[in-house]
Amino acid sequence: MFKHLLKKALVVCLCFGVFSCKKEKTTANETAVNTPTETPTDHSILFSEFPETSNITFNTLFNFKEGIPNKLHIVDSTLVIHNRRSSNSNFLFYNYNLNSGNLSKGYISSGRGPNEILSSFSSGFTDTHLWIHDMALKKIVMIDRANVLPVQKDSIGFKEYKFNEHTAIRVALKDSLSYYGVENLTSEYKVSKMDLSTDTVVEEFGEFKEQRPETIPLEVYKQAYSPLIALNPNEQKLMLAYRHTDVVEIYNLDNKVSINIQGPENFKPQFEVGKNQNGGYMEYTDKTKLAFVNAATTKDYIYLLYSGSTQKDNPDTFGLANRIYVYNWDAKPIKEISFNKDVMHLSVSNNNKKIYSFDVKTGDVLEADIDL
């Protein structure tokens, strides 16, 4: 059952996004250098080790019996569990009060009906709303956060934004009016900023700087360089962390200048070009290595769950991770944190003191202290 659920979680989508640029090697503590193939303000850094390393021990917070989380969010003193659709529960969200230790009743049903979500691929919080991205029903749902913190099930209230032009798989909402999306397999750009109400592209940025081999279709190339995405509204920055290469890319949203940092293993995606009735796709091989599998951010730091393994090397834990790479929003490596579990999610408190995760084998929600 565990292998089936884990495999299902891993194969939900294959994605877009390309990091590519010629690099000049620096150490983790050196200043980024200009690269000849880029504009004078773009930067690229290679590094071989983190300045600091540490070990932490996860402890069990409680056993979650309602399914397997798709995402964990910390909002004030509440751990919001975004549940994957499960035979154990028809509800997609639960709140765990970190002060009282109480788990709320479930809210937001899974389905096609009014005020229901069919495919809740991703979710998050803005200052005013909980948002949910329903890929299957082609909509983004906005819910007033006051209705879910605490849960007001009888008056939760949806506001739906349906889309036709929207093709992004991973999204990050800037506010209740717009969002950034990646993995548009037909666009020549990495990132699209979309207007929610009109379903139109506001702007696109992140051009591909490396010549794509003619033998690799555009959509396959983008899947091979598929990124996670997160925003730092305080600093007007956007992060892409790639899933098949150990690259983190950070954009200044004011001028769209980016900094790329790669390491410590410094590897490129390994894959083959597959074909089916829908066209080309990235096909995993025994050499396909997973890099970043999940992300959490605060205003100060970026926390990335890092795998670094192939399915051949670790068939039972492929897609899980037992270490976290920490960076700041200036694309500097801060710390590598190793721990005693293979986990699939993480969330970090705003003060950077607590990490929360999930053990898919036992069903335990976990917590640990950190010190940066």
pLDDT in tens, 362-372: 999 999 999 88
CA nearest neighbour of 338 among 293, 306, 360, 361: 306
Encoded tokens for 304: 């990335």
pLDDT reported for residue 171: 93
pLDDT reported for residue 85: 67
Does residue 81 surpass a pLDDT of 90? yes
Does residue 63 surpass a pLDDT of 50? yes
User: What are the tens digits of pLDDT across the range 224-243?
Assistant: 999 999 999 788 999 999 99
Quick check: 225 and 19 in contact, CB under 8 A?
yes
Find the Cα–Cα–Cα–Cα dihedral 293, 13, 81, 64, rounded to 10°. Answer: -80
Q: Which residues, in sequence order, are CB contacts of 154 under 8 Å at separation 6+? A: none
- pLDDT range class, residue 166, cuts 50, 70, 90: low
- Which residues, in sequence order, are bridge partners of residue 81? 72, 94
User: What are the tens digits of pLDDT across the range 83-132?
Assistant: 986 667 889 999 999 999 999 999 999 988 888 998 888 999 998 999 99
**Does domain 2-369 fall into CATH 2.120.10.30?**
yes
- Sign (positive/negative) of CA torsion 300, 247, 275, 191? positive
Cis peptide bond upstream of 233, omega within 30: no
CA nearest neighbour of 153 among 194, 109, 89, 213: 109
- Sign (positive/negative) of CA torsion 24, 254, 203, 246? positive
Quick check: 155 and 213 in contact, CB under 8 A?
no
What is the DSSP code string of 186-206? T-SEEEEEEETTTTEEEEEEE
DSSP code for 210:
S
Encoded tokens for 57: 């021990």
Give the Cα separation of 331 and 360 in Å (integer): 31
Q: How far is CA 277 from the centre of its chain?
A: 28
Please measure the distance between the N-terminal and C-terminal CA atoms of the chain and give it in whole angstroms: 37
Strand order, beta sheet including 178-182: 170-173, 178-182, 189-195, 200-207
What is the reported pTM?
Answer: 0.88
Give the Cα separation of 201 and 165 in Å (integer): 8
